[in-house]
Structure 1
Amino acid sequence: MPVATTPLHRRAPGRSPVRPGGARRFVHRLLTLVAAVAVGAGTLTAPAYAEPSVDEIEAAIDKQWEQLEPTIEQYNKVRAQMKVNKKKSGELEKKIEPLTLETELAMNRVGDLASRYYMSGPSQDLGALLVSTTPGTLAEQLTMLDRLAAEERRQLEGVLAVRAKFDSQKLKLDTLITAQEKQTKELAAKKTQINSEIKRLQASMPKTTVSVAGCPTIEGVVNAAARTAIRTACAQVGDPYVWGATGPNSFDCSGLTQFAYRAAGISLTHFTGAQWNEGRAIPRSEARPGDLVFFFSDLHHVGLYLGNDQMVHAPRAGKPVQVASINHMPVAGFRRPG
């Protein structure tokens, strides 16, 4: 079976690559350091070095991207958590709505009870229950209720139960809202940091055309869902990388795998760490086309495996969705969704 080769970056016809920026200075300093070491070792004259090539600049940018991508995936993690919390918040609000009315009706019953005691005056225990906005423990409340008449006890127990249920649900909702406010601030800070770093890297990126090879003929696909995911991901080859994007026209790494498997009816979280836990562990020796392949010890990059050490993935800013070798990065493991 023919194996797709890793696409090479080529200069645009009639144009020279732009060579300013941090990546070029990084490569140039490295070459200068090597020359200085050679002089110190006894070489009479330091050899002249040409300007760093496009490939050297790309390699330096790739290295810097390795440090930025974990922050992008942490952004995806917080955003995924916030999405879950918003859903929970909506569900809690629906539960609280009828409880609010029930609490009001229960307090009206308490008001009726209090009015019956108006002429003779309520007992001290009843007054404590009616006035207190923060009743004590259940044991303390029952002790007070034991002193009341059976009918009064029945009515007040109902009120206390409704209020306790309402307070419990309201506390959960308030806690979620507080967490969401914190997450919103974290997202804003991370977004600013990521945009700043990408802008800095883009100033160093050479102006080249990128030849993007399509997916090769796929054999040995593990199941129908994997075949659909591969077909969907391969249809995105050439689409731009945009951090935080989940399609349909741009993607980051976990956004592409999420998009591909969503087409197959399998839900994945837009976060590499979550996707690692959403699939079954597969040894590399048993990896099949359609499995997810993860990279680096912190799992901050993921691609869709095609077999023969090839994958389709969204690499980084400046590089579109493409087919590439899995051996260019340290493989952390394989997972099989579904």
Structure 2
Amino acid sequence: MASHRRPKQPSRARVSVFGAAAAATVALSSQSAHADPNPSKAEVKERVDELHEEATEITEEYNGAMEQEEQLKEEAEELQTSVARGQEELNELRNSVGSVASAQYRNGGMTPSVQLFLSADPDGYLDRASTLDQVTGKQAEVLRNIESKQRTLAQQREEATTKLETLEETRAEIKEKKDAIQAKLGEARELLNRLTEEERQQLQAEERAAEAEAQRQAEAAADRASRSEGRTDSPSATTTTPVADSGSGSSYAQSAISAAQSKIGSPYVFGNTGPHSFDCSGLTGWAYKQAGISLPRTSQAQANAGTRVSQSQLQPGDLVFYYAGITHVGIYVGNGQILHAPRTGSTVSYAGVNSMPFQFGVRVA
């Protein structure tokens, strides 16, 4: 399995996800089978972070394929419904012509006009006829309606068949990407299992400490904002979900932040969009949906959902994007903090805005 390492950024710490990897219960990849049997704690930390970043990249592709599957299902169903409805209309037209033919046959024979209606190729029959005097204007109109519906039905059936074939290909792609994600997580778990119990506990403690520090900073910043506005009630004293800076950010942004804060502690599950579990873009999309704004499904698509801003221009509610492939997204809550759904095994939590390789922000509203 190839490793897609990116250049290290010494000024920006990478998020630890060791508790996350321990939760994965999947098969091991072929690469891990040939890895160093006794890696150091630092080597495990680096490789596990890489594996989770790679899994996140595939998760974005997985989410895109899931979205395409849903769209293809809807389009195929609409086409099939349209075909069924069109077939009923065509049958009614043919039945009306058949009734006339039966009556004429019983009375001694069919007129040329009715023979024309019953032609296997009515359009060609009309084209070859030297004159349309042999049929009434109304009969010619019905005949052309029959021919038009036959063409439309043939085209819709072909489109529906193509959609269904593409749908099956997409479902196969989804399974392939899901297996790839699980393989990455499986390798991360196997690496962690090579460490001693003490080393694993140290890594998990470091991760918990980083999350606790981010939470503390967010609460302290919210408390300072509250005091500067003259309020005597301290948000940090009454809740573990501090509000963002109240001096900036639209009402939509503030509503999205509040929604995201209500999900602190909810588990990360790749492909999920809430309300009980989320992946990164699932959380941001769900939060803004509660504020009345619809966002695209993937982080790459959400990156084009508003106006791009630099880190110095960030306001509470802005979406923040990470890694060169734009494979991770969170919500800026102010004072250098974000809320996000990190990775498998973790939960919705706060983090520093520079805890991952920052790319840019996007102001949605």
TM range (shorter): 0.7 to 0.9
Q: CA deviation at 1:241?
A: 1.8
Q: CA deviation at 1:301?
A: 1.1
1:236 counterpart = 2:263: yes
User: Per-residue CA shift, 1:223-281, capped at 9, x if unaligned?
Assistant: 11211111121222232222112222322111111121121122223211222233333
Q: Kindly indicate whether the alpha-carbon contact (under 8 Å) linking 1:238 and 1:320 is maintained by their aligned counterparts in 2.
A: yes
User: Per-residue CA shift, 1:93-149, capped at 9, x if unaligned?
Assistant: 4433432210111222443465578666787xx6797324xx8xx7x5752366443
TM-score (norm 2): 0.69
Q: CA deviation at 1:288?
A: 1.2
Q: CA, structure 1 residues 141+243, in 2 after alignment: closer, same or farther (shift >3 Å)?
A: farther
Q: CA deviation at 1:153?
A: 2.1
Whole-angstrom CA distance in 1 between matches of 2:18 and 2:128: 85
Number of matched pairs: 296
1:144 counterpart = 2:128: yes
Identity, % of aligned positions: 30
Q: 2:49 matched to which residue of 1?
A: 62
Q: Pick one of 333, 338, 363 that aligns with 1:311.
A: 338
1:172 counterpart = 2:163: no
Q: CA, structure 1 residues 146+164, in 2 after alignment: closer, same or farther (shift >3 Å)?
A: farther
User: Per-residue CA shift, 1:188-227, capped at 9, x if unaligned?
Assistant: 1211222222122123343525243434422144211211
Whole-angstrom CA distance in 2 between matches of 1:243 and 1:98: 39
Q: How does 1:142-291 map to 2 (within 5 A)?
A: 143-144=127-128, 147-148=131-132, 149-151=134-136, 152-205=139-192, 206-207=200-201, 208-209=204-205, 210-211=208-209, 212-213=211-212, 214=215, 215-216=218-219, 217=222, 218-219=244-245, 220-291=247-318
Q: 1:335 matched to which residue of 2?
A: 362
Q: How does 1:8-19 map to 2 (within 5 A)?
A: none
1:52 counterpart = 2:38: no
* Larger displacement relative to structure 2 (251-260 or 201-210): 201-210
1:130 counterpart = 2:119: yes
Q: Kindly indicate whether the alpha-carbon contact (under 8 Å) linking 1:310 and 1:323 is maintained by their aligned counterparts in 2.
A: yes
Q: 1:18 matched to which residue of 2?
A: none
Q: Could you tell me which runs of 5 or more consecutive residues in structure 1 were left unpaired when the two chains were aligned.
A: 1-5, 13-20, 30-50
Q: CA, structure 1 residues 156+11, in 2 after alignment: closer, same or farther (shift >3 Å)?
A: closer
Q: CA deviation at 1:150?
A: 3.3
* Larger displacement relative to structure 2 (274-283 or 67-76): 274-283
Aligned-partner residue type, residue 277 of structure 1: N
Q: CA, structure 1 residues 8+268, in 2 after alignment: closer, same or farther (shift >3 Å)?
A: closer
* Larger displacement relative to structure 2 (222-231 or 211-220): 211-220
Q: 1:100 matched to which residue of 2?
A: 87
Q: Kindly indicate whether the alpha-carbon contact (under 8 Å) linking 2:97 and 2:118 is maintained by their aligned counterparts in 1.
A: no
Q: CA, structure 1 residues 82+141, in 2 after alignment: closer, same or farther (shift >3 Å)?
A: farther
Q: CA, structure 1 residues 182+232, in 2 after alignment: closer, same or farther (shift >3 Å)?
A: same
Q: CA deviation at 1:170?
A: 3.2
Whole-angstrom CA distance in 2 between matches of 1:116 and 1:11: 83
Structure 1 counterpart SS, 2:119:
helix
Aligned-partner residue type, residue 144 of structure 1: R
Q: 1:34 matched to which residue of 2?
A: none
Q: Kindly indicate whether the alpha-carbon contact (under 8 Å) linking 2:15 and 2:49 is maintained by their aligned counterparts in 1.
A: no
Structure 2 counterpart SS, 1:242:
coil
* Larger displacement relative to structure 2 (242-251 or 223-232): 242-251
Whole-angstrom CA distance in 1 between matches of 2:119 and 2:79: 27
Q: Could you tell me which runs of 5 or more consecutive residues in structure 2 were left unpaired when the two chains were aligned.
A: 1-12, 20-30, 193-199, 223-243
Whole-angstrom CA distance in 2 between matches of 1:113 and 1:284: 77
Aligned-partner residue type, residue 60 of structure 2: E
Q: Kindly indicate whether the alpha-carbon contact (under 8 Å) linking 2:51 and 2:185 is maintained by their aligned counterparts in 1.
A: no
TM-score (norm 1): 0.73
Structure 1 counterpart SS, 2:354:
helix
Aligned-partner residue type, residue 168 of structure 1: Q
Q: CA deviation at 1:80?
A: 0.8
Structure 1 counterpart SS, 2:307:
strand
Q: CA, structure 1 residues 282+171, in 2 after alignment: closer, same or farther (shift >3 Å)?
A: farther
User: Per-residue CA shift, 1:17-41, capped at 9, x if unaligned?
Assistant: xxxx959x66966xxxxxxxxxxxx
Q: How does 1:109-124 map to 2 (within 5 A)?
A: 109-112=96-99
Whole-angstrom CA distance in 1 between matches of 2:182 and 2:14: 27
Whole-angstrom CA distance in 1 between matches of 2:314 and 2:37: 36
Aligned-partner residue type, residue 337 of structure 2: Q
